Structure 1
Amino acid sequence: MFRSLLGVACLLATVFCQQENDLIKDLPGLLFKANFKSYSGYVDANANGTWKMHYMLTESRSNPDTDPLLVWFNGGPGCSSLGGLFEELGPFYVNFDGETLYENPYAWNAKANVLYLESPIGVGYSYDTTTPGYFQANDNQTAGQNYLALTNFFKVAQPKYANRTFYLSGESYAGIYIPMLTDLIVQGINNATNPFPNKNFQGSAIGNGFMNVKGLLNALALWSAYHGRVSVQDWDNIKNNCTNNTDMDNFEFSKFTTSKNKIDYVGDDSYCGKLIQPLISQNADNTEGFDQYNFYQECYDKSVFQAPPPSASGKRVKRSALAGVSAIHKQYQQLGSFKGTSNLAQNTATLVNRFSNDNQFGYFCWNEDAVGKYLNSDKVQNALNIPQAWKDQKNGWEDCRMSIYNNYTLTYETTNQFFKSIITNLKTNFRFLIYNGDVDTVCNYLGDAKHIAQVAAENGLNTLSSRTPWYYSDNQQLAGFVQSYSGKNANGATIIIDVLTVKGAGHMVPYDRAGPSVQMISNFVWAANNAFVNYTSQANFNPNIQLSEMVGGSSTTISFLFAVSAVLLQLIL
């Protein structure tokens, strides 16, 4: 008996040691005292262990031992989920020095443990142990990698989460990843022979999802036409000569386009293709300057921020801000008359954001370079438990691995078949959240809304309401609109799909509308299993945020704008 107990104790100690080996003990440059643990490590993504998928886990600021787990995927394909962590929804934002971290008070780990998987293999710190610079990826392979990686997360890396309620989430090309992975997990949970290790799977959230490529393209033509990107004469010309005055809302504009990878489409050489081209990507002369990820987001000074317009080739363009980081640093040096945080309020005009039209110091315009510098630091990589084997391959960490994107061909033009399989095979209640920033031109809200309406119709789900507003904060600020579909399958499981817009947000909703986004996701993961979500509720997120205590300083309740200013001034002065 004693030997049996001793054996169990040793086994538990081994498991504990394995999961605590991934604990981040000292995150370089952290400027605030984090009241939560973070982990960084690897899980196997194939049977023989040659595919190593990197993960980071930021535990909940509330009750990490009982709060649900939210799994996050960035898209691309080829973009790192650490981009989501350090540029969007994570608790750490990188300063323009590329060396220090300030607090994102609107991080999604407010009431959830958030797991970031760098998928597929070859992205970020994830790697193939046998092939340096590995870049081979496709939809089916990625789904298999994600399934096995998540299996090993629950079994090996962090088994304390094996019985925890969990959800999938992600954005952009994760609109392909998540339905496919959701389908595999549902099948795995139903598999009595080799079951998925965690049966407490309750939902999936997809932000600005790439779920139906031609549907998005057709809707984008409409979105662009009614956002002033084409004259009324040219629009009439398209109606008269290309669509024969048929129903424009349901016209297949995609018939006049072409694509090499089935992801990026451009107008073909036909007369109508040339008319439609500026509606779906960029004018042929490449002179139309706006950020395709947020139609209303500007990085005003081109000489500083190098914000490129959408490519005429149709490819999504990543911005570069190599000069912008130093320019912002120079601007803040001009605030040198303020020698302490207590004096920040003497001249409010010094705090006016002159770099962009958001309230976060133009972070959108320069964060990729700052994050890249930070994550390519050797001391940061050591703190994140990145092995020498990855370093020896000399891949370097990149926000988006273009070798993967440039060699990727879409397999599934729509995700209808995966939604159908999920809805048919579910044995327990389940909910989807399909949310969109309403000014994104990469994956627009109209295309996703049309796609889910089609999914609902194909699977016998009922439309429960017309679009209704949802609100943020005590001031009842309009945050967007939501519509719900629901029904039961043959197994008696209730399926709910919420289609939600976030007003004024682009592709990166957690950054563009930080407060509403964390209220939205917290309400989603904390709603009762068979209940509809009240996205306006403040029961799961308090917008009156108490900032964390600064390293070497005292806590403060000043606004986020003043707090970030203080951090930046401390760095410079």
Structure 2
Amino acid sequence: MGKIPCWVCSLSFLFLSFFVIEILGGQQAKVLGHFYKSKLKGNSGIDKSLFQAKGHGIKTTQKPYPQDGLKEEDRIVSLPGQPQVKFSQYGGFVTLNETAGRALYYYFVEAQHSKDYLPLLLWLNGGPGCSSLAYGAMQELGPFRVHSDGKTLYTNRFSWNHAANVLFLESPVGVGFSYSNTTSDYDKSGDRSTAAENYVFLVNWLERFPEYKNRDFYISGESYAGHYVPQLAHTILYHNNKSNKTIINLKGILVGNAVINDDTDQRGMYDFLASHAIISDHAANLLKQCDFSSNATTQSSECDAGSEEASKDILYISIYNIYAPSCFNSNLTAQPKKGSIVAVDPCSYNYVHAYLNRPEVQKALHANLTKLTHEWEPCSNVITGWSDSPSTIIPLLQESMASGLRVWIFSGDIDGLVSVTSTKYSINKMNLPVKTAWHPWFLNGEVSGYTEVYKGDLTFATVREAGHQVPSYQPARALSLIKHFLDGTPLPDTKRSKAENLVKLFQTLQKILDSVI
């Protein structure tokens, strides 16, 4: 298990014991939990102002570096232990700054069909400082999952490359295989620089893969990517407008269990835990005395007492999936256990860590470790500072909507860290008129969650029985959600679900008649 970055090691304001039990995605949620607490400290040094396009500290207008021949060099023939597939995959580094020696690592999988027509989708994980390769690609929406032997892979039949060409990015530098030869870069990470790095990456990557330059482009992510995604969208819109042309053909953004607004995120977390009988009423009442506003510098003794009591209440469960089983034996197995996409193995994090640290795997991924001074970890232990993090991202969501982008927010409804309650509170702060009232959405005749659509092209959707990493816990429902998002179609309501059932019934009857005839 990777170490927590040193910039959060000394933070102990709230819920440090939330994260004693680690299962799937634990490190990502753990880093986010610590980061939340650092923002509540008056001396955190974090800029809580709103994000601005200027002041990145990274030049985003430089010409792309030459990319000739690099696409074929990045082609992955096959990953070790991989089942046979019919789509192409690529992995490699994109240079951001030759002088500083800064480069980001990506992993890209073409769509399983219609790759020449389906959109390009970027996925970002959060942390901040956690790997989209470790989580998004290998544990959530990528085409493969890792067996318990840490050596072989099995197919994820609900991979999102059924709906799009999917690009995973390890960002910022210092995360995963992404690196800088200027070690001081690891002290300067923050929201603005991450947005700038991601933008420079995309401009150069599109030169390497020019067939996607005019393709519809969407940005998606979870957790602290609630900051990354709207900020990257803002940067793209800024440069498209400044140049008076479409540099990147951005069409929409999608964020799940996302950090949106500090005040409502924190209050919603406690209200969710109290309403699910996880923390006591006494602790919940004490926690009502907490001040989660961006200008808070100290907390009351009641708040401190409430947080201490609550931390004991949830000590033995997973905060990022309150009903998930625990991992009791993280050892790899000599022979792989039967892999399951629908029943999540709580120890799968350990299998991914072992797999991605295998030399033959890194070679196949074109992840040149001679550029790194540290072992690959799912969440960075070399990033030593985070300079800026706005207390709210709501203005950027509003900007995306005003610019005509499709904006969807989804929430796994059993995540206790960035809870569905938190997300509902944050959306309510936007005071948006309702276009389509709250109602269930369906898949295979079952309620898959609930959804509400607001004027301005904002859709909110819950995913039933999903934790912090929605595609891990509910892969079929997550795939249905992303398909509807990319198609720009509403999630299936009751009538549509019944119609689908009738179609299935007629298809079954037709098969029976055909067999009789």
1:63 is displaced (CA, Å) by 0.8
Aligned to 2:268: 219
1:197 is displaced (CA, Å) by 2.4
Q: Identity of counterpart residues, as a percentage?
A: 31
Query: Are positions 1:63 and 2:111 aligned together?
Result: no
Quote the RMSD (CA, aligned, Å): 3.0
- Which whole-Å CA distance do the structure 2 matches of 1:511 and 1:100 have between them? 18
In structure 1, what residue type is equivalent to 2:439? Answer: T
In structure 2, what residue type is equivalent to 1:501? Answer: T
Aligned to 2:35: none
Match among 291, 304, 307 for residue 273 of structure 1: 304
Aligned pairs, how many? 432
In structure 2, do the counterparts of structure 1 residues 131 and 254 end up closer, same or farther at CA, with 3 Å as the change threshold?
Answer: closer
Query: Are positions 1:526 and 2:487 aligned together?
Result: yes
In structure 2, do the counterparts of structure 1 residues 96 and 258 end up closer, same or farther at CA, with 3 Å as the change threshold?
Answer: farther
In structure 2, do the counterparts of structure 1 residues 233 and 471 end up closer, same or farther at CA, with 3 Å as the change threshold?
Answer: same
1:417 is displaced (CA, Å) by 2.6
Query: Are positions 1:34 and 2:53 aligned together?
Result: no
- Could you tell me the TM-score, scaled by structure 1's length? 0.69
1:26 is displaced (CA, Å) by 2.4
Aligned to 2:441: 470
Contact 2:283 2:309 (8 Å CA) reproduced: no
1:514 is displaced (CA, Å) by 0.6
Contact 1:59 1:112 (8 Å CA) reproduced: yes
In structure 2, do the counterparts of structure 1 residues 127 and 135 end up closer, same or farther at CA, with 3 Å as the change threshold?
Answer: farther
In structure 2, do the counterparts of structure 1 residues 233 and 80 end up closer, same or farther at CA, with 3 Å as the change threshold?
Answer: closer
Secondary structure at the counterpart of residue 114 of structure 2: coil
In structure 2, do the counterparts of structure 1 residues 362 and 450 end up closer, same or farther at CA, with 3 Å as the change threshold?
Answer: closer
- Which whole-Å CA distance do the structure 1 matches of 2:140 and 2:78 have between them? 22
Aligned to 1:437: 412
Contact 2:286 2:302 (8 Å CA) reproduced: no
Q: Tell which has more relative contact order, 1 or 2 (C-alpha 8 A, sep 6+).
A: 2
CA deviations 1:136-194 (Å, max 9, x no partner) are 4111111111111111111x22111101111000000000101111111111221226x
Secondary structure at the counterpart of residue 202 of structure 1: strand
Secondary structure at the counterpart of residue 465 of structure 1: strand
Match among 295, 299, 311 for residue 322 of structure 2: 295
- Which whole-Å CA distance do the structure 1 matches of 2:393 and 2:314 have between them? 34
Aligned to 1:511: 472
Q: Which runs of structure 2 are paired with 1:164-313 in the superposition (5 Å)?
A: 164-192=215-243, 195=245, 197-198=247-248, 200-232=249-281, 235=284, 238=286, 254=292, 268=299, 270-279=301-310, 282-283=311-312, 288-299=315-326, 301=328, 304=329
Query: Are positions 1:395 and 2:371 aligned together?
Result: no
In structure 1, what residue type is equivalent to 2:475? Answer: A
In structure 2, what residue type is equivalent to 1:177? Answer: Y
Q: Which runs of 5+ in 2 are unaligned?
A: 1-65, 501-517
CA deviations 1:246-297 (Å, max 9, x no partner) are xxxxxx65379988xxxxxxx9460243124444xx22xx872011110000
Aligned to 1:147: 199
Match among 372, 386, 389 for residue 411 of structure 1: 389
- Which whole-Å CA distance do the structure 2 matches of 1:131 and 1:300 have between them? 35
CA deviations 1:218-271 (Å, max 9, x no partner) are 111211111112344555x549xx66xxxxxxxx65379988xxxxxxx94602
Contact 2:259 2:418 (8 Å CA) reproduced: yes
- Which whole-Å CA distance do the structure 1 matches of 2:364 and 2:239 have between them? 34
Query: Are positions 1:420 and 2:398 aligned together?
Result: yes
In structure 2, do the counterparts of structure 1 residues 185 and 256 end up closer, same or farther at CA, with 3 Å as the change threshold?
Answer: closer
Q: Which runs of 5+ in 1 are unaligned?
A: 1-13, 244-251, 260-266, 305-320, 333-350, 488-495, 542-573
- Could you tell me the TM-score, scaled by structure 2's length? 0.76
1:135 is displaced (CA, Å) by 5.3
Aligned to 2:47: none
CA deviations 1:425-472 (Å, max 9, x no partner) are x2xx321110010111111111112212323x2xxx421132110011
- Which whole-Å CA distance do the structure 2 matches of 1:102 and 1:434 have between them? 30
In structure 2, do the counterparts of structure 1 residues 133 and 87 end up closer, same or farther at CA, with 3 Å as the change threshold?
Answer: farther
1:376 is displaced (CA, Å) by 1.5
Contact 1:438 1:505 (8 Å CA) reproduced: yes
Secondary structure at the counterpart of residue 70 of structure 1: strand
CA deviations 1:469-526 (Å, max 9, x no partner) are 00112xx111000011123xxxxxxxx1111100110000000001000111011112
Higher Cα radius of gyration: 1
Contact 2:397 2:407 (8 Å CA) reproduced: no
Query: Are positions 1:22 and 2:74 aligned together?
Result: yes
In structure 1, what residue type is equivalent to 2:167? Answer: L
